[in-house]
Amino acid sequence: MQKTLDIEIEKAIRLISKYFPISNENTRKPVLFHDIRVGTYLYEKNYSREIILAGFLHDTIEFSNIDEQMLTKEFGENVTKIVLASTKNKALKKDQINEELIKRCAENGKDALIIKTADTIDSFKYYSKINNTDQLQNHCLVTANLIFKYLPNNIEDPIFDELKKWQEKNK
């Protein structure tokens, strides 16, 4: 089982390496490395296969020409469902995108919220490391607040406790 998961993770990393755009100094956050960190974080925390793979793949629809059909063929419907829940709807007005995304994750369930939370924790870590207070306040903190706004009372997981610590640290 573990070897099979590791092979699937390698497959996911090869896919994103092939299709993601190349980052440069003008990139807000290097997306390939970000997605690898998110997936690795979830792997190290022993989440399910679907959550781990969706962590590695969560930005594919948004930042590459990988589509829903390709994801489903390669990783299955459950992984694709989580990735789609975690994908921004760019057809919305800019000030509506983040809230709609978090609300959609909450409606899709615990797995999608875990992905968005891991994504946000990694962003907190990254923007803290490069001392980008604007992104910490206007992206990370706003996203964390929305996650807790839409987090159903019956969903518990240690990842939300970790996000709470980052939220408190950056208020």
For residue 146, CA distances in Å to 80, 100, 116, 142, 167 come to: 23, 10, 11, 6, 11
Segments forming the whole domain that contains residue 139: 2-169
Average pLDDT of the chain to the nearest whole number? 95
What is the reported pLDDT for 162? 98
Please give the DSSP secondary-structure letter assigned to residue 140: I
**Which regions in the chain score pLDDT beneath 50?**
none
Number of folded domains that form the chain: 1
- Tokens representing 141 are 């903190």
- Domain at 88, CATH number: 1.10.3210.10
Which candidate, 153, 89, 69, 147, places its Cα nearest to that of 113? 147
What is the reported pLDDT for 94? 84
The model carries a pTM of: 0.95
What is the reported pLDDT for 25? 78
What is the reported pLDDT for 1? 60
Measure the CA–CA gap between 158 and 37, rounded to whole angstroms.
18
Per-residue burial over 71-94, b = 16 or more CB atoms within 10 Å of its CB, e = otherwise: bbebbeebbbbbbbbbbeeeeeee
